[in-house]
Amino acid sequence: MPSDEEVVETAAEAAEGYVLSKLRSSDVEDLDITVSFEEGVLEVDVYVKAPDADADIEQIADDAALVAGNAVDDLFAESEESESA
């Protein structure tokens, strides 16, 4: 079973990686990713400020939160597979 710290780190890294895969880092003025994992509940908030980027910033932030959740799901799935092996 992954620790709470592993869950938070995995989610934050996935969200940041997604945002930076969609936007040039030079276009990103501010990137704030807040992740909490308490009592089995994951909350991910992503704020991106990139006024010069030619992209739907709000959609990228929303998608980054989804990617973070999927990464955590994968982390738990991998953990369950290794425990049952």
- Number of independent structural domains in the chain: 1
CA-nearest of 76, 75, 69 to 33 is 69
- Residue 27's pLDDT band, with cuts at 50, 70 and 90, is very high
Mean pLDDT across the chain = 95
Beta strands in the chain (DSSP E): 30-38, 41-49
Domain extent for 76 = 4-84
pLDDT at 81 over 90: no
What are the Cα distances from residue 64, in Å, to 11, 13, 47, 80, 81?
9, 10, 10, 24, 26
Structure-block tokens of residue 45:
């908030």
Give the domain CATH number at 73: 3.30.300.100
What average pLDDT does range 1-21 have in this prediction?
A: 97
- The whole model's pTM is what? 0.93
